[in-house]
Chains A and B, each alone.
Chain A
């Protein structure tokens, strides 16, 4: 996966490049709009990360120009602005996504994956999800572990489904709130943790290998190995 990172803050550019390379992306970097334009036209990138506050031009102007020049790759917009302005929302509806700074790396990676998947839909959606001995029937909304049915509330099922779709990958609290509850909020209390704790009580009952792991300061991961 070839990725173009357009970011003028060298500190951020540096750690993003390293983390993205660790996650398996081939990363090219540009520190301003002009060089980003040149790079984007020459190299065929699968995905772009564009910071809105560039020294020579506005990030949104850059994205519009790239679209005019025929660059089709999806764009993840990074914004340090306070409110997400309407133009970004417009881009979001056009298939791109945005993330406000500061963000968790896990969330950045998840959004990149989402964008790539949206761009290359992989045929039919599966009706069953399977992670180790955990199985989800998406049509009948039923979950079983080692053949035993789990008594889940509809909300817990959605939460577990989200974990299964991201099995082996880190999900953060704000990702869970965004994807499962549809809200971009940052509660001051541990509301998400309590939900996970309850779900874990049902999925990882006594005597079984625990599947849902807590990564303190980062989020959660559903083990797939």
Chain B
């Protein structure tokens, strides 16, 4: 009914809860009804038996005391009929005689001595003969032509004959059957409605949870202003939302602290860098010729490298903490790759490298332009720095419905096995590499900050492959119908 491969609805918690609740309820009520019915059934039989035992004794007495003359049959018959009238005949029968009760006197020769009831009594007699009867203990006797067995009490008269008094419980049993049918109908109805109510209530409750989950999953990467939706009620779900929001408050405040620290660190390092660079430049313009210029020039170049390293380090550090701040704009990724290819092509050609761009259809993503530009430049730089001459770099842009992947492949030596497991860690670089080991960590950081991924591996045919996958539509812009509650600041 609900397997793991079923539809999402069948796999939902609401469905499971209501299913099992309904099963438990249905089973429980069924059990209670079963015992009640058993009890009523036994009670009916007990009453019938009590009546039968009493009457059969009376009839036995009458039969014993009445002289066996011509009037015997009439007297005993009258008494038996009177007794029978005590039993209501609710079923309309063709004859006036009540066929739910009978009186039979069986002679010693197994013949019908006296019969009061519907028909000739022959069928009843043969049924009784076939049944082993216990004296003073009413027994069920199945008579041909009757669906419901008769309850028959028996007493032995002195003359050797036996008196049987039979009573059909069919009316009671019919009432019981009607009760059963009605119960089943009501039971089905109640179970169905119970299921529906439980399902709807749980689904309603769980939809709050789902909304919280959806909102929470959207919060995170650089968006910490939003809060999960809260309700006015004070139940467990509302508590969950409140707790989550309080947690987000704490995360936001520590994130804010991290930003303050990185900002002031950047500020404290950049201000002296600016002053040093400015002074070096001024000195350079004052003494633009000769040997003094050379050390100043290289100092400026070192400073620029240091600055770029500082920027990337702080970016990677913030991204590792999921705290990179993004300013999203529309970026045409295919166009960006074309421009970058144009920019890097001459340098590649100088090194004897070929570059091939398999351009795709126009594809636009919403992302932080500055970061994406630097990330793509990093990907190109990586190839340019590490590939030996005569290699080919192939760049592919794969556009899927929700994602877009940039694949950089080459037929060079690939990543060396010692750095392979740690490629995206900071400070990890190959022995031959002269970079500062931030490249791939930075690429990974930017991809993650945008809700994407970066993977690197060696190709089967040889060479390295770096793939950056980014979501096409930012999760913030998908416009879920569920309202995001923005915290007031």
A residues in contact (CB < 8 Å) with B: 9, 11-12, 15-16, 18-19, 53, 80-86, 89, 100-105, 155, 177, 181-191, 194-195, 197-198, 215-218
Interface residues of B, count at CB 8 A: 53
**Which B positions have Cβ atoms within 8 angstroms of A?**
262-263, 266-267, 270-282, 284, 288, 293-294, 296-301, 303-305, 307-308, 311, 314-315, 325, 327, 339, 342-344, 346-347, 350, 370, 373-374, 377, 380-381, 384-385, 435
Q: In the bound complex, do residue B278 and residue A187 qualify as a contact, i.e. CB atoms below 8 Å apart?
A: no
Contacting pair A186 B308 (CB below 8 A): yes
B contact residues around A12 at 8 Å (CB): 271, 274-275, 278
A82-B262, A189-B347 given; A102·B327 CB < 8 A? no
A216 to B297, Cβ gap below 8 A? yes
Query: Does B263 contact A101, Cβ atoms closer than 8 Å?
Result: no
Q: Do residues B381 and A189 form an inter-chain contact, with CB atoms below 8 A?
A: yes
Query: B279 — which chain A residues lie within 8 A by C-beta?
Result: 11, 15
Given the complex, which residues of B lie within 8 Å of A100, measured CB to CB? Answer: 270
The answer to whether B377 and A53 have CB atoms under 8 Å apart is no
Known: A80-B274, A81-B266. A183 touches B346 (CB 8 A): no
Contacts of B381 on A, CB cut-off 8 Å? 187-189
Which residues of the partner chain A approach B263 to less than 8 Å between Cβ atoms?
Answer: 81-82
Q: What is the CB-to-nearest-CB distance from A171 to chain B, in angstroms, rounded to a whole number?
A: 14
- Provided the pairs A12-B275, A185-B373, A185-B377 are in contact, do residues A82 and B293 lie with their beta carbons within 8 angstroms? no
Contact for B307 among A102, A190, A191, CB less than 8 A: A102
Q: In terms of DSSP, what is the predominant structure of the interface of chain B? A: helix
Q: A198: nearest residue on chain B (CB-CB)?
A: B346
B434 — nearest CB in chain A belongs to which residue? A188
Nearest to B374 among chain A residues (CB) is A185
- What are the residues of chain A within 8 A of B270 when measuring CB–CB? 80, 100-102
Tell me the minimal C-beta distance from B296 to chain A in angstroms: 7
Q: Summarize A's interface: helix, strand, loop or mixed.
A: loop
Contact in complex: A82, B385 (CB < 8 Å): no
CB-based contact A184/B377 at 8 Å: no
Asked if A194 meets B281 with Cβ closer than 8 Å, knowing A12-B274, A102-B273, A188-B435, the reply is no
Contact residues in A for B311 (Cβ distance below 8 Å): 82, 186
A190 and B262 alpha carbons, distance in the complex (Å): 29
For A12, A86, A185, A217, the residue with the greatest tally of chain B CB atoms inside 10 Å of its CB is A217
* B325 & A83 in contact (Cβ 8 Å cutoff): yes
Asked if B274 and A188 sit within 8 Å, CB to CB, the answer is: no
Which 5 A-B pairs give the minimum distances between C-beta atoms? A217-B297, A11-B275, A15-B278, A102-B274, A217-B300
Nearest-neighbor residue (CB-CB) of B304 within chain A: A186
A-B contacts besides A100-B270, A191-B343, A218-B300, 10 pairs, CB < 8 Å: A12-B275, A83-B325, A102-B270, A102-B277, A186-B307, A188-B385, A191-B347, A195-B343, A198-B346, A217-B280
Say how far A149's CB is from chain B's closest CB, in angstroms. Answer: 21
Tell whether, in the assembled complex, residue B281 and residue A80 are in contact, meaning their CB atoms are under 8 Å apart: no
Q: Which residue of B lies closest to A192 (CB)?
A: B343
Given contacts A19-B282, A182-B339, A195-B346, contact A80 B267 (CB under 8 A): yes
Q: Which residues of B contact A215 (CB under 8 A)?
A: 288
* Residue contact B271 to A9, C-beta cutoff 8 Å: yes
Listed A/B pairs (26) with beta-carbon separation below 8 Å: A9-B274, A11-B279, A15-B275, A15-B279, A15-B282, A18-B282, A80-B270, A80-B274, A81-B263, A82-B262, A83-B327, A86-B327, A101-B271, A102-B274, A102-B303, A181-B342, A187-B377, A187-B380, A187-B381, A188-B308, A194-B347, A198-B346, A216-B297, A217-B296, A217-B298, A218-B300
Given A80-B270, A83-B325, A190-B347, residue A184 in contact with residue B278 (CB < 8 A)? no
